Structure 1
């Protein structure tokens, strides 16, 4: 990818593999790539752009405004709706919405979690003598051949599979600590499917804890607010309706900070009576027996800030909520499907016969 070689390298490493199905592809490739690209984009805005802008008092000059924005981005910020008053109690102004600083980090963590089951499968399946990836890769190459070469290659591949299965059935060879029943690859693949299920469930709880909100139902609540989630953006544009601000992703926040300024009152202590000295304001000097101490006042400021990134975060997480819901449903159904096929002999036989008939239909259609 032009200008972003690390992204191109990442995409190359997460490329589609041979021994996977469409549900695996949705998990380890589509979702991983989606989260990684979002993390890169938000990181660019946060660390190289202007993630926050604050409305500061007129007395702020020079670098004060920049200092205020940087401080409010990394320190205490809280949300108060326009209909509410700012609470007078300081303990109610605690850091309520600090999650947005960590959005890119959490998204990269999520991407790694989606990729982890696939990494486990690739690392472990190479330790089985049957080498399923090599078999599928050779089968794809054979499917492109025609004539006698195709027949010879098919016979050679079938012989290799037969010999490998015989070795496993004879309990003569394995590199894994599983029982030597010739089912290592099957157990590993089912474990991988189970890890995908566990991951998608963990994703909801991770976001629920990260956003400090009931994220498990948040997508439904937003969808019900707009009555439909299929064309909610188009509906807003047509009806000229503003996207309502959410307390989960507030765009306007409040921020408190303090500064220490010198007082105009000086405390003077004279150790010797009738001693005369000249003292200048905002200074600390020693004149023989005279000590002057400067004090400082603590000034508290409450400023209003705008986080434009939260408008993007809200739309992204709304889409991500439904994407996780779809991926989770497909992953759970896919796991139980493979569990039944690989543990019930009759289901396994029907699957093999169905694939044979499918190939026969394709061959007949090709000759026709």
Structure 2
């Protein structure tokens, strides 16, 4: 009972302190670096436990002091061995253990039951299956590859001065606090931080001479490195990170092909679907064989004797399910990431889309505060509409709108509308001498 209370308390703590409200990426990014990474680490733990924990506990089974410990025996039965071989009755227990250890280390080879065992050693060597020992390491490597773009993004996005961690904390406060004054202070802090970041980036000294003439050309090719002052550093960097996520998904397919030994020019999942559609039993295709053969030599004084034993790769039952699921999971992640990249490209590279986003939130903020200056439910006057376009394109610019979009996607429209209202009010004070029409747009 005490253990259950401690477990649920830990889970609640993890839920509260999770990074789900971190406003520096979207769901497709978290699907790559967070959910895919956790999934791969779980698979790594399962395979590692099957391979190494079961073998270690099997050794403990033969220790006299633990031979009567029912808990150890139960765990041994639960985990089992990754490989077990059928040996002749003349083998002793030590010989059987040696054969299984040797076959696990030196690989086995697959021959269908309806085919004869090859006599040539070279042909047996060509049929060898040598991936199962490396599965935990490959899965852990894949988890790291899914997380690398996120590391790169968080190493580079701070150069604009936008502190996404601080924005996450303030957004959480603004969402959870009921007092209007405390909530208003959190919103004001978020608006001030966004305003200071985009203002400082926009006030960098301009280059002169030949650098000023060369800069527009460099900006087109290396905009994510040289366009902080132009307000599009974050936007372009984020799109490049999206491309890295896509490149990682594509690389994962080739990694699985190379690791599993799929026929050249054919993806593992496509081969699987082809087998299923053609009516063949894909479980007996030889990709994850359950029953394999193993050769080992025993040195004697007179000569070396070769022994061939038949082994059961129990671990392949897990490997098969994991890699089949993983392949289709990568397809899903790649599809959602590609759609997200297209959506973000359209949002950030089209000026009209950026302006419409800002104007919509200004109207939302005006409507929630009881109307927009006599304009009937949050509408903008014509003069204000022109000023709003200037506010979006010249003041916020691409990076400011990008930060607000991420905030809306993670913290919600209410918090984002409050921040936009603060920024909009501060911007209008600088243009208080503008004359507005009475027309509503």
With structure 2 as the length reference, what TM-score do the two structures score?
Answer: 0.63
Residue 192 of structure 1, CA deviation: 1.8
Q: How does 1:137-156 map to 2 (within 5 A)?
A: 137-145=169-177, 146-156=179-189
Question: Counting strand residues as a fraction of each chain, which structure ranks higher?
Answer: 1
Q: Structure 2: how far apart are the matches of 1:354 and 1:97?
A: 59
Q: State the 1:315 CA deviation.
A: 1.2
Aligned twin of 1:23: 28
Look up the SS of the partner of 2:93 in the other structure: coil
Match of 1:70 in 2: 101
1:144-168 CA distance string (max 9 Å, x none): 3443443344334323322321211
Distance 1:334 1:207, change over 3 A: same
Structure 2 equivalent of residue 305 of structure 1: 311
Matched, 1:203 2:257: no
Query: Matches of 1:193 and 1:62 in 2, distance apart?
Result: 56
**Stretch of structure 1 that moved more, 110-119 or 346-355:** 346-355
CA contact (8 A) 1:190 1:339 kept: yes
Contact 1:76/1:94, CA 8 A, preserved across alignment: no
Question: What aligned pairs does 1:315-326 form with structure 2 within 5 A after superposition?
Answer: 315-326=321-332
List aligned pairs for 1:63-102, cutoff 5 A: 63-94=94-125, 96-102=128-134
1:333-352 alignment, distance < 5 Å: 333-352=339-358
Structure 1 runs not aligned, ≥5 long: 229-241, 263-295, 364-368
Question: How far apart, in 1, do the equivalents of 2:97 and 2:356 lie?
Answer: 68
Aligned residue for 1:269? none
Partner of 1:246: 285
Deviation at 1:226, TM superposition (A): 4.4
Stretch of structure 1 that moved more, 177-186 or 98-107: 177-186
SS at match of 2:326: helix
SS at match of 2:303: strand
Aligned Cα root-mean-square deviation (Å): 3.2
Distance 2:311 2:249 in 1: 35
Give the match for residue 382 of structure 2.
Answer: none
Deviations 1:104-143 (A, max 9, x none): 0000000001111112222222333122332243233223
Is residue 2:38 matched to residue 1:33? yes
Q: Residues 253 and 267 of structure 2 are in contact (CA less than 8 Å); yes or no, is this contact kept in structure 1?
A: no
CA drift at 1:243: 7.3
Report the TM-score when normalising by structure 1.
0.75
- Cα offset for 1:319? 1.0
Contact preservation (8 Å) 1:18, 1:137: no
Q: Is the 8 A contact 1:261 1:297 kept in 2?
A: yes
**Equivalent of residue 141 in structure 2, options 94, 109, 119:** 109
Which string of whole-angstrom CA distances, capped at 9 and with x for unpartnered residues, describes residues 160-187 of structure 1? Answer: 32232121112259xx953442333223
In 2, Cα distance between the equivalents of 1:57 and 1:14? 55
Structure 1 residues 294-325: Cα deviation after superposition (integer angstroms, max 9, x where no partner): xx211111111000110111111111111111
Q: CA 1:349–1:78 in structure 2 vs 1: closer, same or farther (change >3 Å)?
A: same
Summarize the Cα distance change of 1:60–1:193 in structure 2 as closer, same or farther, 3 Å threshold: same
**Separation in 1 of the partners of 2:101 and 2:287?**
22
Bigger mean CA offset, 189-198 vs 138-147: 138-147
Could you list the per-position Cα deviations for residues 320-347 of structure 1 after superposition, in whole angstroms to 9, with x for gaps in the alignment? 1111111011111211221222222112
Between 90-99 and 198-207, the greater mean CA deviation after superposition: 90-99
Residue matched to 2:193: 160
**Aligned residue in 2 for 1:328:** 334
Q: Relative to structure 1, is the Cα distance of residues 328 and 14 closer, same or farther in structure 2, using a 3 angstrom cutoff?
A: farther
Equivalence for 1:130: 162
User: Would you tell me which structure has more helix in proportion to its own residues?
Assistant: 2
Separation in 1, partners of 2:364, 2:124: 65
Secondary structure at the residue paired with 2:306?
strand
After alignment, is 198-207 or 41-50 more displaced?
41-50
CA contact (8 A) 2:41 2:139 kept: yes
Q: 2 CA distance for matches of 1:104 and 1:170?
A: 51
1:190 to 223, 231, 239: 239
Q: By how many angstroms is 1:207 displaced?
A: 0.6
Q: For structure 1, which segment, 182-191 or 306-315, has the greater mean C-alpha deviation from structure 2 after superposition?
A: 182-191
Aligned partner of 1:222 in structure 2 is 272
Query: Deviation string for 1:85-117 (max 9, x for gaps)?
Result: 001111001162100110000000000011111
Q: How many residues align?
A: 311
Say whether residues 1:257 and 2:307 are aligned partners. no
Q: Which residue in the other structure is 2:50 paired with?
A: 45
